[in-house]
Amino acid sequence: MKFFIDTADINEIKEAASYGLLDGVTTNPTLVARTGKKFRQVLEEICAIVDGPISAEVTAVDYETMRREAEELASIHPNIVVKIPLILEGLKCVRWCSEHDIDTNVTLCFSPTQALLAAKAGATYISPFVGRLDDIAHEGMEMVRQIIEIYDAYDYETEVLVASVRHPLHVLDAARMGADVCTMPLSVIAQLVKHPLTDLGLARFLEDAKKVPR
Ligand code: E4P
């Protein structure tokens, strides 16, 4: 499973990249707004750090403007993946992008049938938002399971990118289901490595190592 970081914060991206486990980056308008920087500057900085897919979201909601935005974003760097909302105008833009060799990440997916439409439109990635579904008492990971079932049944090439990840259990479930990608905040990446028995065991080994003549 590929690991993407879900942030536009350059320091967090540098930190995650330094672990050697990072395959790509997802951003959204909210995350970019938090940086206080210009959109293009943020994207150029990220592209200079990570050599992998970097999602950059369009802000138009009509096909023509979205298409122009998609072209503009894709021209910034070959690694840019154009993030497009799961609305009808968006799906038209996804189809156009797939016919013009522009990678897409269809975002704000909250149902398996929406994901089916994205795959039919030729999306490169589909982003089911699991945390936001959990927030309203629907099982986010059950949506992912059904998406994978449908994509497998028809051999769709669209990659399942589990998004809106809040904790390590989402990552565990995504990996067990065979999701292609999981995008997560730096805090979740850090949580994955922690285990109290590892810390306890290491402390004991380090103490005992002091007793061994070198
Ligand atoms: C995905 O690409 C989105 O940027 C993100 O995962 C949304 O997460 P949130 O629900 O925590 O805002």
List the domains of the chain with CATH numbers. Answer: 2-209 (3.20.20.70)
Could you tell me the distance, in angstroms and rounded to a whole number, from the CA of residue 200 to the centre of ligand 1?
A: 34
Which tens digit of pLDDT belongs to each residue from 172-203?
A: 999 999 999 999 999 999 999 999 999 999 99
Asked if residues 4 and 161 have their Cβ atoms less than 8 Å apart, the reply is yes
How far apart CA 58 and CA 81 sit, in angstroms, is 10
**Closest CA to ligand 1's atom 9:** 164
Which tens digit of pLDDT belongs to each residue from 24-64?
A: 999 999 999 999 999 999 999 999 999 999 999 999 999 99
Q: Where are the beta strands (DSSP E) in the chain?
A: 2-6, 24-26, 54-57, 80-85, 104-109, 125-128, 159-162, 181-184
pTM for the predicted model, two decimal places: 0.96
Residues with a catalytic annotation lie at 83
Asked if residues 49 and 10 have their Cβ atoms less than 8 Å apart, the reply is yes
Cβ neighbour number for residue 11 with a 10 Å cutoff: 9
Which tens digit of pLDDT belongs to each residue from 103-132?
A: 999 999 999 999 999 999 999 999 999 999
**Closest CA to ligand 1's atom 6:** 164
Asked if residues 13 and 7 have their Cβ atoms less than 8 Å apart, the reply is yes
Could you tell me the distance, in angstroms and rounded to a whole number, from the CA of residue 164 to the centre of ligand 1?
A: 4
Given ligand 1 and candidates 2, 3, 5, 6, which is best to mutate, with the most ligand atoms within 8 Å of its CB?
6
